[in-house]
Structures are given as structure tokens and as C-alpha cells.
Amino acid sequence: MIHLIEARDALRGLIELGGAVVALILALSVLAGAVVLWKLWQFRAAGVGRHAGLEAAIAAHDAGQTPRARGIAESAQSHLAPLLAEALRANTTETRDRLYTLAETRLSRLEQGFRLLDTVAQTAPLLGLFGTVLGMIDAFRAMQGAGTSVDPSVLAGGIWVALMTTAAGLAVAMPVSALLAWLESRMAAERRMAGTVIEAALCPGMSPPAAARAEKDHVHAPA
């Protein structure tokens, strides 16, 4: 309890020093933290990165055991399992576009919130710079008003407070940018797996590199 009170007082003092800009940066950090926690829970619940069941179903399908492959796909702990099951039921290349559309719909749901994190990562340092500019204006205005009797310690204190907003903005932007890059890399891996799942279901026996090439050809094919 004592530590919480100390943290509250330190936070209040920080806001009093930095003003509205620091308060806004802190609000953005809380918002970004909530979104990151939500995405981590969502990824875990969706089974992002759990490809063992999908790979086992593809292996069974390649071996000619399509009914068994469907059973494995339906019990796989991955958000791509329904996609694989649908692809195995279709088992015709005419449905490829529909399957890719279904995959993109599923992946887009998991990418919700990425734009917000990107906005926070770009806005936080700009807000910090804005606060620094405002603080420097106040510091130089005070120096001008003091005339020849300027106290260097007072001026240094004003500049220190002004630069604090830039530090706060960078302290929020850097971890948010790193977390966003990690989340995007996870989704890129899921998108590659979705393509592999579709191509492997429609073309059994195709090696992973060949499936990847087929996926790339489909994605970049002219409409």
C-alpha cells in the first residue's frame, strides 16, 4: 500500500512538472498498454503460432488420409483450423479465391488495434517535442523578462523540465514500436501459414517451398 501511494505521488509530481503534455503522453501509454495486453490475450486464445496440428493434418492429407486429416484439422488448436477444414472439404482449385478471402478475414480480425499502436508510436515523440518547444518558449520568455539579472540555475531548471516531455514521449514510443513490430511479425508468419494450408489442401503432396511459391503467385496474380 505504501508503494502504491509513493507511485501515485511520483506520478502526480511528474504531471505537475510536465503539464498537460506529459499527462496526455501518460494517457497514451495506458491506452497502448491495454491494447497490447488485449492482443496478447487474443493471440493466445486464437492459438497464434500453434501449427503442429495443422502440419499433422497436412501430412495426413498428403498421405491420402483425407478423412483423418479433416478430423485432425477440426481438433487443431489454431484459428486457422476451420480454414484448413474448409479447404479439405472443398478440395478444388476453383475455391482458392474464396479460401484466401476467408483467410484474410480471419487474419484481419487479429490485426485489429495495430493501427492504434502505430498511431501511439508516432504521436508520442511528437507530443514530447511539442512539450519541449512550449517549455523552451517559456524558459526564454522568463530569461527575457529577467533582463540582465538572469539566474542560470532557474533557466537550467526550466530547460530540464521542457526536455522531460521529449524523454517521456520517447519512453512510450520505443517499447510500443518494438511490441508492434513483434506482433506484426507474428501475423506475417500466420499469413504465410494460411497460404501454405490452402495450397497444401488443394494440391496434396506439394512440398512446402512449392506451396509457398504457389501462394506467392496467387497473391501477386493480376486481377
Specify if 15 maps to a domain.
no
Whether residue 124 is contained in a domain is answered as yes
Question: Which of the listed ranges 5-9, 65-69, 91-95, 172-176 does the model predict with the highest average pLDDT?
Answer: 172-176
- Asked, for residue 184, whether it belongs to a domain, the answer is yes
Q: Which amino acid, residue 113?
A: G
pTM exceeds 0.85: no
> What's the number of domains the chain is made of?
1
Q: Is residue 30 part of a domain?
A: yes
Q: Is residue 97 part of a domain?
A: yes
- In whole angstroms, what is the distance from residue 30 CA to residue 78 CA? 30
CA–CA distance, 84 with 61 (Å, rounded to integer): 11
Q: Compute the chain's Rg from CA coordinates.
A: 27
- What band does 28 get if pLDDT is binned at 50, 70 and 90? very high
Reply yes or no on whether the pLDDT at 112 is more than 60.
Answer: yes
How many residues can be counted in the chain?
223
Average pLDDT over residues 49-72: 88
Sign of the torsion formed by the C-alpha atoms of 48, 50, 54 and 55: positive
- Give the residue from 135, 125, 160 showing the smallest Cα distance to 24: 125
**Whether the predicted pLDDT of 59 surpasses 60:** yes
Structural domain of residue 51, as residue ranges?
Answer: 22-219
Tell me if 77 is assigned to some domain.
Answer: yes
pLDDT in tens, 159-172: 777 788 888 899 99
Q: Could you tell me if residue 8 is inside a domain?
A: no
Does residue 17 fall inside a structural domain? no
Confidence of residue 13 (pLDDT cuts 50, 70, 90): low
